[in-house]
Structures are given as structure tokens and as C-alpha cells.
Amino acid sequence: MTPIDPDLSLERALFDGGAALVAGMDEVGRGAWAGPVSVGVVVIRSDQTDFPVGVRDSKALSRRARERLVPLIEEWAHASGVGHASPAECDAFGMRAAIALAGQRALNVLAIEPDALIVDGPVDLLGSPDGASESLFAERSQSRPAVTALVKADQKCATVAAASVLAKVERDGLLASMAPSFPAFDLDSNVGYPSPVHRRALRGYGLTPIHRRSWSFVDDIAWLTGDPRS
């Protein structure tokens, strides 16, 4: 399938609607077995009419292309940041709440507050999941941008695509930095996602402190390692 080239159509519509600063936000790491879930955010002004050549959804880019784009995106953006929620938070709160926490942390990195925010997917990434305690979101700022949720925004909107690249490169770097501590898990290559080497290492060594213990893959290794959820 040919990748979609993103543009700034939705961002311009939000500027036309009165926003002075528009942000795009996207998450990475939702399906990983190990490491944090991470959320990137990229903010632009209304006078920014272009974006770096090659920006698109991080999944459509090679590792080298993503890394090449990071300084270009950071130079282009009016502001940018990445927030993380730890494996323990993913386990304790569930993925929706963990993504909301990571997204709020990404916004908190910024020195400014965007007026409008585009997020990838059918729902507001910053929204509190049903049944989640508001105490989980104590890190919220007093004001929140107006959120537009768009399916495939990471393919359609340049700010969201750029945010996905920043989040992916930073999260991959975090997992690579952990690789020497867990050499059997091949984190340099799989960055915490499922892979045959990762599965073999889990069955041989069990869960590490960077693994998510509430995920269904844990059931596959329970018979070898005892109850790893305890």
C-alpha cells in the first residue's frame, strides 16, 4: 500500500477557526511487551505554511529516515515534546489512562499552551477513560486545548505525523539504552515489541522490571516462570 503524504489542511482549518497555535499528537508503544508508552506533540503557528520534506507516519519510515527528520522537525516546530508512562503505570491504570498520562506529560514539557490539538484515532487521547479516577490526572494543567480526534491523522496531518516521529525515535532510544542490561532480549532490534527472540528470552529468563505484567503474553510464559503477575 502506498503511504499517504500528509499535509496541513486540518491545521489550516483550525487556524481559520481562530486558533493561534495548533498541535498534533500521537502515541507509540501501545502494543509493546516492554518499555513505556510514549506520546509526542508538535506545535505550529499560523504563519508556518510548510513542513520538512519526508515527514509522514513513523511506521512508514525507516529508522534512519526517522532519525534524520528529528532535528528538522524540532527546528520547524514552534514547540515540541515527548511524554512517557512507565510499564508499571500501563499495568496499574490500563492503556487508555496510561496514554492520557503520557499525553499530558508531553504537553507539560511545552513552554506554551496550544489552542487546538489534533490526535490520531477515534477518541481524545487526553480524555479520562470510563472508570478512571481523576486523581490519576493530577498532572493536568488548568486549561486544555480543544481536541479534534481524527482516524489516520498520523497519515493525514503533518503535525501528527511529525509527533509520531519524535515519539518513536525517543522511545526507541530509551529501549536501546536498556539493551545492555537485558542482552538476551534484543531490545536494540525489537525495542520492546513482540519478536521470536523476545519470546524465547521471556521463556528462558522470565519478566524483567521493564516488562508489562498485565499483558496477555504473560499467560504464555506463566507455566515456566510461576505466576509472573505477583
In the chain, what are the helix, strand and coil shares in percent, each to the nearest 5?
45, 15, 40
Instruction: Using the structure block, give the residue that is written with the C-alpha cell 520547524.
Output: 76
The pLDDT-based confidence of 228 (bands split at 50, 70, 90) is very low
Residue 141 has pLDDT above 70, yes or no: no
Which residues, 6 or more positions from 185, have their beta carbon under 8 angstroms from its beta carbon? 34, 179, 197, 198, 201, 202, 205, 208
Residue 157 has pLDDT above 90, yes or no: yes
Residues 52, 56: Cα–Cα separation, whole Å: 10
What is each CA distance from 51 to 8, 26, 108, 201, 230, in whole angstroms? 9, 17, 24, 41, 48
Element (H, E) at 83: strand 79-85
| Residue 100 cell numbers, joined | 492520557
Interval 15-62: pLDDT, tens: 999 999 999 999 999 999 999 999 999 999 999 989 999 999 999 999
Residues 34, 37: Cα–Cα separation, whole Å: 9
> Any idea how long the chain is?
230
| Residue 148 cell numbers, joined | 479534534
The domains located in the chain, with CATH, are 9-179 (3.30.420.10), 182-225 (no CATH)
Mean pLDDT throughout 92-121? 94
Q: How far apart are the first and last CA of the chain?
A: 43
Q: Are 150 and 118 in contact (CB under 8 A)?
A: yes
CA triple 92-209-225, angle to 5 deg: 95
Closest CA to 70 of 85, 91, 54, 84: 54
Residues 61, 90: Cα–Cα separation, whole Å: 26
Closest CA to 26 of 210, 149, 188, 173: 149
Quick one: pLDDT at residue 80? 98
Residues 131, 54: Cα–Cα separation, whole Å: 40
